[in-house]
A = this chain, B = another copy of it.
């Protein structure tokens, strides 16, 4: 009898890896997500910047498990955990019992106590975030074409990206290329090449997680692409009129937030300690302290490396944790010795700058330029799930490469009408 019931909350990289790895184990699994799709987040910025279509990087979670009758997928929102009763609480009031619970609920963007900035400065975590940013960027050019007041037109053609981590750098590079390469011939009243793309970073350099020479290279490439960089001063306010950097005000209509991350409330559900970003502090086996039947993995868990530095919030880290927890569960059920504590193996850091340069830091090998871009592209096609999407994305990229035309320049959703 497969009567050990595992409930997995979250169908991101960690949750999916875990369910995949438990294939053939003597368990029933219920996978719960509040979205019907797994999102390939590393390419989400390409949807926001019109390179890829939404369906190229998001796939229905339940379709992965069609041949696994022991896996039930539920589209539902978890709002709490009753660890005494061993139950997960759903928003509609239903309760789902578990023998083992794995929380892999991810993270969202954070505004450092300024949540009121969100409507004017959307972050990039969901498919809707990406289509919102895409819509705003495209609408800004459209409205500038209609605008007759020069100051208003300049504000419409100013795009501020807050935070120069990988997401900020990737967004700034492609938006600048969009303005300078793809759009100029399509507008008659404005010169889209004069658009200002400003990348704001409170720290001293871009891509601080990379070695300094790679970071320097990325900065030079961004400048070549026409991105204006502002270092050393934080954003102190965001509004519909513009953004204040330190104490200087920049009028702009489009702001994108790529500066902070906040964990989902898994720690709060369990009433256990969290770090500053809200990540639940777990033990060396990735369990909630004192609760042997609850594991927490991915961006919502605070895990340390052997050197005491935090495991980064990236897809490979979440996958390794899913992998590890599957091993622990299998060992426990089989009554075999447990694997040792979780150890993170950093495989490398990657970031792209525009459509032809990237930097890769494997530790033992550093790559930059077009060769890094090709390695990055091939790696990402490889990591996409399924032949169907590998071919579709490869074709989209090939077409963009040949034609310099972006594929997915749609303005959709209701906000369109309101903003018109």
Contacts and interface: CB of A to CB of B under 8 A. Distances in A.
Contacts of A58: 410
Contacts of A188: 69, 72
A413 interface: yes
A411 B39 CA distance: 12
A327 to B, nearest CB: 26
A146 B74 contact: yes
Interface stretch (A49-57, A238-246, A345-353): A49-57
A127 B65 CA distance: 30
Contacts of A37: 409-411
A31 B75 CA distance: 43
B187 A60 contact: no
Contacts of A60: 186, 409-410
Interface residues of A, number: 59
A36 B66 contact: no
Contacts of A131: 412
A59 to B, nearest CB: 8
A128 interface: yes
Contact of A388 (B69, B399, B410, B417): B399
A407 B395 contact: no
A215 interface: no
Contacts of A36: 138, 142, 409-411
Contact of A66 (B62, B186, B409): B186
30 contacts: A34-B417, A36-B138, A36-B409, A36-B410, A37-B410, A53-B53, A53-B56, A54-B54, A54-B55, A54-B412, A55-B408, A58-B410, A62-B187, A63-B405, A65-B186, A67-B185, A72-B188, A72-B189, A73-B186, A74-B142, A75-B146, A75-B420, A76-B146, A76-B420, A77-B420, A91-B420, A92-B146, A128-B414, A388-B405, A388-B407
Query: Max chain B CB contacts within 10 Å: which of A55, A131, A414, A417?
Result: A55
A66 to B, nearest CB: 4
Contacts of A74: 142, 145-146
Interface in A372-420: 388, 391-392, 395-396, 399, 403, 405, 407-414, 416-417, 420
A146 B73 CA distance: 10
A94 to B, nearest CB: 7
A53 B55 CA distance: 6
Nearest to A54: B410
Contacts of A62: 186-187
Given A54-B54, A413-B413, 15 more contacts: A36-B411, A37-B409, A55-B407, A60-B409, A65-B186, A66-B186, A74-B145, A75-B146, A76-B420, A92-B146, A127-B412, A131-B412, A388-B399, A388-B407, A392-B392
A262 B92 CA distance: 39
A377 to B, nearest CB: 18
Contacts of A408: 55
A35 interface: yes
A125 to B, nearest CB: 14
Contacts of A143: 75
B55 A410 contact: yes
A33 to B, nearest CB: 11
A9 B141 CA distance: 20
Given A54-B410, A185-B66, A34 B146 contact: no
Nearest to A184: B66
B412 A128 contact: yes
Contacts of A392: 392, 395-396
Interface string A26-48: 00000000111100000000000
